[in-house]
Structure 1
Amino acid sequence: MASFEDASEAFLAWLRNKGVEISPKIKLEDLRPKNAGRGVVAVQHIAEHELLFRIPRSAILSVENSLLSSEIPAATLNTLGPWLSLILVMLYEYLNGNASNWSAYFGVLPTQFDTLMFWTEDELAELQASSVVDKVGKESADEMFLEQLVPMIQEFSELFFAGDARAKQKAEEMRSPANLELMHKMGSLIMAYAFDIESSAPPKNIDEDGYASEEEDEALPKGMVPLADMLNADADRCNARLFYENQYLEMKALKPIKAGEEVFNDYGPLPRSDLLRRHGYLTDNYAQYDVVEISMDLVTDVATTAGIWDESRLEYLQDQEVVDSGYDITISEPFTLQESLSPELVVLVESLLLLAEEFDRLKRKSKLPKPEKITSKGAALLHSIIKTRLSQYATSLEDDVQSLEAVSAGASVTSKERRIAMAKAVRIGEKKLLRQAEEALAELIAREGGAPKRQREVDEEGDVEMGGTGKKHRA
């Protein structure tokens, strides 16, 4: 096995051979002392908008660029979708070892992961009631691998194990736990490093503002972009971005970068729970994107206990895009209920609390309660929902903070201790957010508790004034 430095040199040579242009003002550096693996660092001052490197589209590890795509019919690969088809291609290239055109690239990609897919059951349990646990999906992924990937590998075993007399047997052995783990590793590499690759051709369906249709956005193929994926990410210090041109992908500086500074990309507004799930690490500057999900089941249970759950109202609320599987509470600074509570959750609660004649009137007018106007009864029900959500965690916020501080103050920790500490940090962030919502709702209830019941605004016809939810996307 090549050393860390030798693997880096082989990778850089491979990049040059692939036609990748790299500015002499940057270098690939060993950042393991900072627990950051490899990274890209400036060795000279870099101006804003300056080109850092240019990658030919042919150097992207994608379904289109793999030899496999010339052997397997496109229609067959398309049945897998962008995610599974790229896993299949990466398996093919990985199993080809040094014979693969991408072997030097695989040489610098990680082989060990801290993503949640590889956590043990007791480690996952440390996340407690965080909804991120339900997003791991290891069993469903195993099922997809066994039902879709393995049969295709068996069908084309002579391609995957070319020249091997045991090709069919090796294809059958892909069902083994060790090979399923290999598939999970390929999937984790894609989750952590892959980019959605914009087509070199302009989208067919563009709206008046120049945006592609949602269907075309969802259909974007995924690809591994060598060198671009060596950049570490930072929500606050992002100073570079990947731009898509017809023949190339170009990484350019978004601001001046001084010699000695690291070049950072950004994952976007990613909550720390998803940062951990997808990339296997945490950093405090992504705390600004933390999210807590309130499940529809929880809302149903609390509303049923309160005696206000009404199935007959759901159909209308579904038509109005109010009903969802879950509702987000997000960070706002300073914290406000209007900014942080999902408007759909507020509308759902207020709709359930309406008298029958009020609800029927708004239904006839195709209107909804205004999400920015939380009534005292609505605040009380929301407060009960938040308290119930907070009670789902097994430990208190104060205990978590104290135990995490003890770990931080200690000596070096094991991998398991590090994972447990990251789990605590995730649930601390979620509990803080729930606590803020709980306190804000309690203040609202206290403020209005002694006052006469607030009347809703009425329109010129004497009807209750309603409005749209101003639906915002969940993180």
Structure 2
Amino acid sequence: MADFDGASQAFLAWLQQSGAEISPKIRLEDLRNKDAGRGVVATQSIPEHELLFRIPRSALLSVETSILSSEIPASTFTHLGPWLSLILTMLYEHFNGPASNWAAYFDVLPTEFNTLMFWTDDELAELQASAVVNKIGKDGADAMFVEHLLPLIEEFADILFAGDVRAKDRAKEMRSPEKLEIMHKMGSLIMAYAFDVEPSMSNTDVDDEGFAEEEEDAALPKGLVPLADMLNADADRCNARLFYEKDCLEMKALKPIKAGEEIFNDYGPLPRSDLLRRYGYITDNYAQYDVVEIPMELVTEIATAAGIWSQKRLEYLDEEEMLDSGYDIAASSPFTLQESLSPEVIILIESLLLSDEEFERLKTKNKLPKPEKMTSKGAEVLHKIVQARIAQYATTLEEDLRTFDQVPAVDAATPKTRRYAMAKAVRIGEKRLLAQTEEALREIIARNGGIAAKRQRDVDEEGDVEMSGLGKKHRV
């Protein structure tokens, strides 16, 4: 691979040869001294709405643009789905080496990753009881690779390893742990860099940032957008956005940008745990999006111990989409229960606490308890749940704060030391949310039947929530 600056220049030259238009007011810069790898910086003042660069769709790395799409039946990609299809496509281009149309692009993409997928067991243990540990999915990914990708790699070996007399042997070698690691790296590149790329002709609704509605996102094609993915992200300083046009994608300034300023995109409201899982780093300004999850198993355990568990009521709540695998407590400033605690978990507990007569009345009218009015008894049950969740962490918040300074810079620490510090920062954020929630619930209990501050909900004349008045809260 060429040196860092040489690879950057070769990449930009390839991009322009591919039909991209790049403003002379920006440059690709080495920001490794800021722990940021490559980044895009303004060389001159840029007014709001000005075009920063335009990338033709043909330069995107996707199933649609790769020659592999014409070599393998379309039904194969349909069967694989968007993620595995793009991984297979990227493997094909990777195997092609210098012959790939995206060779110069691959040269500026990372080959080593700090995401949770590549952490050791002792490093992951530093996250303690964080729910993010169960979302890494390495075992599940391995199973998908073995079941879906490896048979195709062997079936189409002569295409994927074109011109290699050892094509079939190389395909079989892909079953080794070292070769499976390549697939994980391709998946990590997709998770960190890929956009949801709406085909030029489609009926799917995608917004200006390339995001579809949640129910449509799963089937939306994925693609890597050269240069757009070189922008670093910042929750507070986002000053550019990618816009989708029929034949190209355009990055434009969202606000005036001064000469010398870095140009930032934004990941959206990601908690630091997901930032670490997907991108391999954290920053303090994403603490405003932190989330801690209360698993359904814990809710079940505490409700059963309290003698209020009812399968019949759960069936009704499930029909009304109130049940989930976990319930979030999200950061809010200032912290309030009504802004932070998932209304679904309040409805769940209050439903379990109803008398049989009250429950049947609500069920007959297709209604639910009001999440904005928490009973003292409901607060007591939720308080026990939160206390039990706090106890799942190996150390207390106070212990962590006493031994935590800050996450060290990349060049000031070993990779393990930095990973330990990032894990501690994530678990501190989660424990703070739990502590705030525990305190707020304790205050409600102390008021002996006090009512939590009201949310803005559609409530009928009898004070019950209409089912249409409670939108399903999307979890991160």
Q: 1:138 to 1:214 in 2, by over 3 A?
A: closer
> Percent identity, aligned pairs only?
71
> SS at 1:438's partner residue?
helix
Name the structure 2 match of 1:260: 260
Q: Which runs of 5+ in 1 are unaligned?
A: 452-457
Partner Cα separation in structure 1 for residue 329 and residue 268 of structure 2: 18
Question: Could you tell me how far 1:212 is from its partner in structure 2?
Answer: 7.3
Q: Which amino acid aligns with 2:47?
A: A
Name the structure 2 match of 1:472: 473
Partner Cα separation in structure 2 for residue 128 and residue 433 of structure 1: 15
Please say if residues 366 and 466 of structure 2, whose CA atoms lie closer than 8 Å, have aligned partners that are also in contact.
Answer: no
Aligned runs of 1:163-242 on 2, under 5 Å?
A: 163-203=163-203, 215-242=215-242
Question: Could you tell me how far 1:408 is from its partner in structure 2?
Answer: 5.4
Name the structure 1 match of 2:414: 414
Partner Cα separation in structure 1 for residue 244 and residue 312 of structure 2: 49
State the TM-score, normalizing by the size of structure 2. Answer: 0.94
Name the structure 2 match of 1:454: none
Question: Could you tell me how far 1:407 is from its partner in structure 2?
Answer: 6.9
Q: 1:81 to 1:45 in 2, by over 3 A?
A: same
Name the structure 1 match of 2:58: 58
Q: Which amino acid aligns with 2:362?
A: L
Question: Could you tell me how far 1:217 is from its partner in structure 2?
Answer: 3.8
String of CA shifts for 1:103-152, please: whole Å, max 9, x gaps. Answer: 10000000110000000011001100000000001111011111111110
Q: 1:184 to 1:52 in 2, by over 3 A?
A: same
Aligned runs of 1:307-322 on 2, under 5 Å?
A: 307-322=307-322
Question: Could you tell me how far 1:164 is from its partner in structure 2?
Answer: 1.6
Name the structure 1 match of 2:7: 7
> SS at 1:334's partner residue?
coil
Please say if residues 369 and 467 of structure 1, whose CA atoms lie closer than 8 Å, have aligned partners that are also in contact.
Answer: no
Aligned pair count? 463
Moved beyond 6 Å, runs of 4+: none
Name the structure 2 match of 1:424: 424
Partner Cα separation in structure 2 for residue 96 and residue 262 of structure 1: 34
Tell me, yes or no, if structure 1 residue 150 matches structure 2 residue 131: no
String of CA shifts for 1:407-464, please: whole Å, max 9, x gaps. Answer: 759992110000000000000000000100000000111112699xxxxxx987xx77
Partner Cα separation in structure 1 for residue 410 and residue 398 of structure 2: 19
Please say if residues 27 and 42 of structure 1, whose CA atoms lie closer than 8 Å, have aligned partners that are also in contact.
Answer: yes
Name the structure 1 match of 2:49: 49
Name the structure 1 match of 2:455: none
Q: Which amino acid aligns with 2:473?
A: K
Partner Cα separation in structure 2 for residue 407 and residue 231 of structure 1: 22
Q: Which amino acid aligns with 1:473?
A: H
Name the structure 2 match of 1:140: 140
Please say if residues 291 and 328 of structure 1, whose CA atoms lie closer than 8 Å, have aligned partners that are also in contact.
Answer: yes
Aligned runs of 1:95-110 on 2, under 5 Å?
A: 95-110=95-110
Question: Could you tell me how far 1:67 is from its partner in structure 2?
Answer: 1.0
Please say if residues 203 and 216 of structure 1, whose CA atoms lie closer than 8 Å, have aligned partners that are also in contact.
Answer: no
> SS at 1:243's partner residue?
strand
> SS at 1:236's partner residue?
coil
Partner Cα separation in structure 1 for residue 193 and residue 259 of structure 2: 26
What is the root-mean-square deviation of aligned Cα atoms in Å?
Answer: 2.1
> SS at 1:370's partner residue?
coil
> SS at 1:29's partner residue?
strand
Q: Which amino acid aligns with 1:330?
A: A
String of CA shifts for 1:257-306, please: whole Å, max 9, x gaps. Answer: 00000000000011100000000000011111111111111000000111
Aligned runs of 1:289-304 on 2, under 5 Å?
A: 289-304=289-304
> SS at 2:386's partner residue?
helix
Partner Cα separation in structure 1 for residue 314 and residue 146 of structure 2: 38
> SS at 1:33's partner residue?
helix
> SS at 2:448's partner residue?
helix
Question: Could you tell me how far 1:402 is from its partner in structure 2?
Answer: 1.9
Partner Cα separation in structure 2 for residue 97 and residue 205 of structure 1: 36
Name the structure 2 match of 1:39: 39
**Which of 305-314 and 418-427 deviates more?**
305-314
> SS at 1:404's partner residue?
coil
Partner Cα separation in structure 2 for residue 450 and residue 47 of structure 1: 53
Q: 1:323 to 1:406 in 2, by over 3 A?
A: closer
Please say if residues 19 and 55 of structure 2, whose CA atoms lie closer than 8 Å, have aligned partners that are also in contact.
Answer: yes
String of CA shifts for 1:57-98, please: whole Å, max 9, x gaps. Answer: 000000011111110011111110000000000011011111
Name the structure 1 match of 2:441: 441
> SS at 1:349's partner residue?
helix
State the TM-score, normalizing by the size of structure 1. Answer: 0.94
Q: 1:185 to 1:243 in 2, by over 3 A?
A: same
Question: Could you tell me how far 1:312 is from its partner in structure 2?
Answer: 1.4
> SS at 1:242's partner residue?
strand
Q: Which amino acid aligns with 1:362?
A: L
Question: Could you tell me how far 1:219 is from its partner in structure 2?
Answer: 2.1
Q: 1:232 to 1:311 in 2, by over 3 A?
A: same
> SS at 1:28's partner residue?
strand
Please say if residues 35 and 409 of structure 2, whose CA atoms lie closer than 8 Å, have aligned partners that are also in contact.
Answer: no
Please say if residues 410 and 418 of structure 2, whose CA atoms lie closer than 8 Å, have aligned partners that are also in contact.
Answer: no
Q: Which amino acid aligns with 1:238?
A: C
Please say if residues 82 and 219 of structure 1, whose CA atoms lie closer than 8 Å, have aligned partners that are also in contact.
Answer: yes
Aligned runs of 1:317-396 on 2, under 5 Å?
A: 317-396=317-396
Partner Cα separation in structure 1 for residue 63 and residue 204 of structure 2: 22
Partner Cα separation in structure 1 for residue 460 and residue 228 of structure 2: 56
Q: Which runs of 5+ in 2 are unaligned?
A: 452-458
Q: Which amino acid aligns with 2:290?
A: D
Name the structure 2 match of 1:455: none
Please say if residues 362 and 464 of structure 1, whose CA atoms lie closer than 8 Å, have aligned partners that are also in contact.
Answer: no
Partner Cα separation in structure 1 for residue 410 and residue 122 of structure 2: 22
> SS at 1:96's partner residue?
helix
Q: 1:334 to 1:177 in 2, by over 3 A?
A: same
Please say if residues 26 and 40 of structure 1, whose CA atoms lie closer than 8 Å, have aligned partners that are also in contact.
Answer: yes
**Which of 86-95 and 194-203 deviates more?**
194-203
